[in-house]
Structure 1
Amino acid sequence: MKKKIKTKKLLILGALICLVTVIIGLTINFVLNGFNKIKPDEVLKQYMSFANERQYEKMYNLLDEKSKLENKKEDFVSRNKKIYEGISAHNISIDIKDIKKDEDEGTKINYDSKINTLAGEISFSNEVLLTKDKQKNYRIRWQSKVIFPELENDNKVLVSTLKAKRGNILDRNGEVLAGQGLASVIGLVPGKMSNNVEDLKKLSDLLDIPVEQIQKKLDASWVKENSMVPIKTIEKIEENPDGSVKEKDKSLQESLLSISGVKISNTEVRAYPLGEKAGHLTGYVQNVNAEILKEKKGKNYNVNSIIGKIGLESLLEDRIRGIDGCEIIIADRYGDKKETLAIVPKQDGEDIKLTIDSKIQSKLYDQLKNDKGCAVVMNPKTGEILSLVSSPSYNPNEFILGMSGDRWKELNENENKPML
């Protein structure tokens, strides 16, 4: 009897052990497949945190299998890198609004997103689908719409600079002393050039620029067969009312165009109509460099900005400078604007009128140009300055068009010190 009771107890104990084992197994399985599985909204947040950190391969790892079949890793990384870094995306944040589960499709998450960019903040509402993989992990069904809801797979995100106008410096009668003008750009189209090495030598002589410098421009990484490679900017090749070239420029134009691949086009430049007659008065502008950008950090200068170097161009810089704007758009497959994502409007510079009289300025310089000295014409009743002349002078247009090393040396070594 005692033996039977003992056996019964052992059977009960064994059953209890099996039951406990099953419970523990089920608990472990639930933990591994329940609590340890990242929720869909956490997967989306993790994806966006990787976007913030520019870890594009980690973003790709969170895509579902269908998305990976449709998007090669290198294509995905390249597209996201170009877009996010092209617009200087940072501080990407999302706010989950709604999570809907569908047995057939997966889990849809609606969220609001904010992205800081070089054109300000972009905010939008979006929706993303997440599906489960074989291990029951949530993964993102990716399309370009995940970046921006209006973005199709064949669309591009483009950034354009809205170029601001630098203000004019005017005399008392509204005549331009410094303002917008035109110059001629001499360029080469590689696909239309000949193999004749003498062509580059001829162009070098005509433009007073070394052959090595021309070749360096042609060898730039961005250059393609149909690219127009700017070689040098020169004074505008003037035309007559009937469209023909004026005699003074005719010979130069004919010589340039006789070289295979040469193209001549117009470009806007800062111009000084009085040239050396008002050189010291107006001063001139120059392109900003790394040192200036560092010095002017936070004042909306960029690599394409110009800045007043000396004279009134420098003195009036804060008033006449233009501050460029920026626009981020979605463009369709043909390059046409489909949607503006963010825009910072440009701010044109102020036009400033002086008390200077251009006619008096010119006349006074003509009388003084063969001497060393300076002269001032002032209205004694009002104190208005009508003319400021220093001789010898320099032509500020030379600095705008690009001065050769020999010409710069000539100016600086001139014993009459025209730059002073």
Structure 2
Amino acid sequence: MTDVWRGNGIGAVGVKARVEQQLGRASHSPLGVWFRDIDRVLLLLALILIAVGLVAVAAASPASAERYSDSTRQVPAMYYFWRQLGWVGMSIPVLLGVSMLPVNVARRMALLGSLAFLLCLAAVPLVGVDANGARRWIGYGFAQFQPSEFLKPCFIVTTAWILSFRAQDEKLPVMPITAALTGLIVFLLMLQPDFGQTIVFGSVWLILLLVAGISPRMMGALGALGIGGVVSAYMFYGTARARIDSFLFGDAAAGAADTYQTDMAHAVLTAGGITGRGPGAGTVKFRLPEAHTDYIYAVVGEEFGLIACAIITLLFMAIIVRVMVKLLEEDDAFRVLAAAGLVSQFGVQAMINMAVNTGLAPSKGMTLPFISYGGSSMIALSLGMGLLLAFTRRNPYLARTSYGTGWSG
């Protein structure tokens, strides 16, 4: 009977043969080509982060459920975990599907996405939904989404595409064009208000300019302009002033919000010590606002320890280093800029969230990529990671030709 099964390809040998046929070096099927070209290490790191995120949301869900329960509505303890599991189920196909796209198709999709989500962002002040004192969402009920989350990866690819023309003609006005686009987005974000996303967009734009090779003098001028922007925001933008005063002076600042969130995040983060109190054993987390989103890093610290927080940090660093090392061998200006921008957005957002959780930065309402709860965040990050995987795909068995011409046997 075993021989019959093997002969029909039903046994382990047959399954292995079929897998090798579909994914082996000689396979010309779309799945085989994708599996051969994709950066499997980068894909694995992303999937590990998503899995870690599910565990973290499961740990934070009871605290958030209790906080949002009242006499009229009792939220189940694992409510946010089950919802996040659903978002992950929707996001992974997005990640894998986008990673299979040819570079030119992925670029066109991002360009169209930039236009669509920029229009949505412009509509937020008019028809957006208020939440926690800010208007950042659009839509109704289950269909609500945050346009700025989806705009980030599309904006990065669009900016990379514009800046890549500088490699062909340095006289093209690519910097003013991208500056105008970034300025428009920053203006729309400040209307919401969303100071955290403003910092992400501005930081990634500066990084892309640096990768594109602008002069040190121009970079210094832009740095001074950025400092001037922060000072102006402090002087004329009430939300930014309140958060900066709260962070620097606490209750001593007249009119500033208190530091309860950042103080409590630090208390939760350190409550578990090096090894943590154990899954489900955290107690301080129940006093933490937004435990499942903005401050999930602190919840990980209480239940799984500072070692777990360090491992998460190393995972983010591994993704950044992996991409940057691969780009050292890349000749296509667009691919270099797009991949560098996408991984920079990933790293900047993680760094801001961790800085807030550890008390090194004022609260900004920034999620931790792939770890925090959220549908818009999870799907948009999967879109960005899919684009990153698409732009870093390369066939290891073929040799590079001259600039911009792809691969040659």
Q: Give the TM-score normalised by structure 2.
A: 0.22
- The structure with the greater share of residues assigned to strand is 1
Higher percent of residues as helix: 2
Q: Per chain length, whose mean CA-contact separation is higher, i.e. which structure has more relative contact order (CA < 8 Å, sep 6+)?
A: 2
Q: TM-score, normalised by structure 1?
A: 0.22
Pair member with larger Rg: 1
